[in-house]
Amino acid sequence: MGTEIVLGVLIVVVFIALSSSVKHFKGEGGCCGGSSAPKPKKQKLSRVVCVKQMQIEGMQCDNCRKNVENGLNSIEHVNAQVKLKEKTAIVKLGEDIPDEVLVAAVENLGYRVAGVKEIS
């Protein structure tokens, strides 16, 4: 009888842990809070003067990716796409924007920029 109780409790604990993990990897919990802040619309640039690639460390889930993308896209004349698996952001600029502005936007969110390079 005691073994069945322990086994039942163990099954419940494993189920809770797995459901929490699924939420985490969907970006709905855990590491970054699942922000409900409205996201800025991606800006359509009339011209692209420069494209930069940023190497970003600290992103763990899709919510991290969205936070970084939204942070960059909130800068005027910036259209950014963040790739979680590659830990990069491709940033199209409609005007010359210093790297320091882009880096500050990401690092103010709690992530670390390991590098910025111009790719076109």
**Which residue bears the tokens 């855990």?**
30
Mean pLDDT to the nearest integer, 88-100: 95
- The single-letter DSSP state of residue 17 is H
Mean pLDDT to the nearest integer, 26-52: 70
Domain 50-118 = CATH 3.20.20.70: no
User: What single string gives the DSSP state of each residue in 37-86?
Assistant: SPPPPPPPPS---EEEEEEEE---SHHHHHHHHHHHHTSTTEEEEEETTT
Identify the band that residue 34 occupies on the pLDDT scale cut at 50, 70 and 90.
low
pLDDT for position 32: 58
Of 40, 39, 21, nearest in space to 29 by CA: 21
Which of the pair, 4 or 71, is modelled with greater confidence?
Answer: 71
Q: Does residue 71 contact residue 108 with C-beta atoms inside 8 Å?
A: yes
Asked if pLDDT for residue 107 goes beyond 60, the answer is: yes
Kindly report the pTM of this predicted structure. Answer: 0.70
Q: CA quadruple 92, 96, 100, 104: dihedral positive or negative?
A: negative
* 53-88 pLDDT tens trace: 999 999 999 999 999 999 999 999 999 999 999 999
Asked if pLDDT for residue 15 goes beyond 60, the answer is: yes
Q: CA quadruple 56, 115, 112, 95: dihedral positive or negative?
A: negative
Query: Domain residue spans in the chain?
Result: 1-30, 50-118
Percent of all residues in the chain with a pLDDT value above 90, rounded to a whole number: 59
